[in-house]
């Protein structure tokens, strides 16, 4: 892959709700990544409409498209709502479908750069970020140190728009950071053991 080709970043965000604050936050970070020179594709959890993952289950076309896009990506931006102290079930299910990458070379998220965002009703969003970090690590990816746990009560208005400019700045910094690291690392280093 030529080193002057744009880095590819996949964003996964949203919930099954029609209006998703985690998707809004993801779009801010994705826009900043594009400004840095990355080619960003966003997958919305609601639109993916994935069946529950089960080992051996034939993947839906959406699951295959999502997994293929992640495999081809240099990095990811993950933005989940926090439900009951962790990431939402539908978001985790989408990540579970990345099992389709287990037999690829390289497998899973090997050497991919990942930015993490969570949206919580209160101030406990770091719990969801921690869960995301554990998932990324178990899939052999690299989470950047900057993480963005957002309290929706403080950051969003009643229409779901981000009104806290400090949060907008943090999301933009995250998008720039993930894209910049991906661009510096192209072509992605990997040799099979």
Per the model's pLDDT, the better-predicted residue between 152 and 43 turns out to be 43
CA 28-31-36 angle, to 5 degrees, is 130
pLDDT above 60 for 3: no
Q: Is residue 1 part of a domain?
A: no
Mean pLDDT over residues 97-115, rounded? 97
User: Rg of the chain over CA atoms, in angstroms?
Assistant: 16
Kindly indicate the confidence band of residue 2, based on its pLDDT and cuts at 50, 70 and 90: very low
Q: Is residue 190 part of a domain?
A: no
Side-chain-facing half-sphere of 116: CA atoms under 13 Å: 24
Q: Is residue 3 part of a domain?
A: no
The residue ranges of DSSP E strands in 51-151, in sequence order, are: 75-83, 86-87, 113-120, 142-151
Q: How does DSSP assign 41-53, residue by residue?
A: EEEEHHHH-PPPP
Mean pLDDT over residues 134-148, rounded? 96
User: How many independent structural domains does the chain possess?
Assistant: 1
For residue 134, count CB atoms less than 10 angstroms from its CB and return exposed for 0-12, middle for 13-18, buried for 19 or more: exposed
Per the model's pLDDT, the better-predicted residue between 38 and 126 turns out to be 38
pLDDT for 96: 97
Separation of alpha carbons 149 and 127, rounded Å? 9
Q: Is residue 192 part of a domain?
A: no
Q: Is residue 31 part of a domain?
A: yes
Is residue 114 classed as helix, strand or coil in its secondary structure?
A: strand
CATH of the domain at 133: 3.40.50.360
pLDDT above 50 for 14: yes
Identify the residue whose tokens are 């990997």.
Answer: 190
Mean pLDDT over residues 127-141, rounded? 95
Kindly indicate the confidence band of residue 152, based on its pLDDT and cuts at 50, 70 and 90: confident
Range of the domain at 126: 8-185
Q: Which residues contact 103 (CB under 8 A, 6 or more apart)?
A: none
The residue ranges of DSSP E strands in 25-138, in sequence order, are: 39-44, 75-83, 86-87, 113-120
Q: Which residues contact 142 (CB under 8 A, 6 or more apart)?
A: 111, 112, 113, 114, 136
pLDDT above 70 for 42: yes
pLDDT digit string (tens) for 107-120?
999 999 999 999 98
Q: Is residue 151 part of a domain?
A: yes
pLDDT for 123: 67
pLDDT above 70 for 1: no
75, 182 in Cβ contact below 8 A? Answer: yes
pLDDT for 190: 52
Instruction: Enter the tokens of residue 151.
Output: 């309290």
pLDDT above 70 for 169: yes
Q: Is residue 191 part of a domain?
A: no
pLDDT for 4: 53
Q: Name the average pLDDT for the chain.
A: 91
């Amino acid at each position: 892959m030529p080193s002057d080709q744009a880095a590819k970043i996949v964003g996964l965000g949203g919930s099954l709700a029609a209006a998703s604050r985690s998707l809004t936050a993801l779009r801010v970070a994705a826009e900043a990544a594009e400004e840095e020179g990355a080619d960003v594709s966003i997958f919305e959890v609601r639109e993916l409409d994935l069946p529950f993952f089960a080992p051996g289950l034939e993947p839906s076309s959406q699951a295959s498209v999502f997994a293929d896009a992640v495999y081809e990506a240099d990095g990811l931006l993950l933005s989940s709502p926090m439900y009951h102290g962790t990431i939402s079930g539908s978001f985790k299910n989408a990540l579970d479908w990345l099992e389709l990458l287990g037999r690829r070379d390289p497998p899973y998220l090997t050497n991919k750069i990942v930015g993490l965002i969570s949206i919580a009703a209160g101030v406990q969003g770091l719990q969801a970020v921690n869960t995301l970090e554990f998932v990324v690590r178990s899939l052999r990816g690299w989470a950047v140190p900057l993480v963005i746990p957002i309290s929706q009560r403080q950051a969003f208005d009643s229409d779901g728009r981000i009104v806290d400019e400090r949060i907008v700045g943090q999301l933009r910094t995250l998008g720039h950071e993930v894209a910049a690291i991906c661009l510096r690392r192209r072509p992605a280093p990997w040799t099979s053991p």
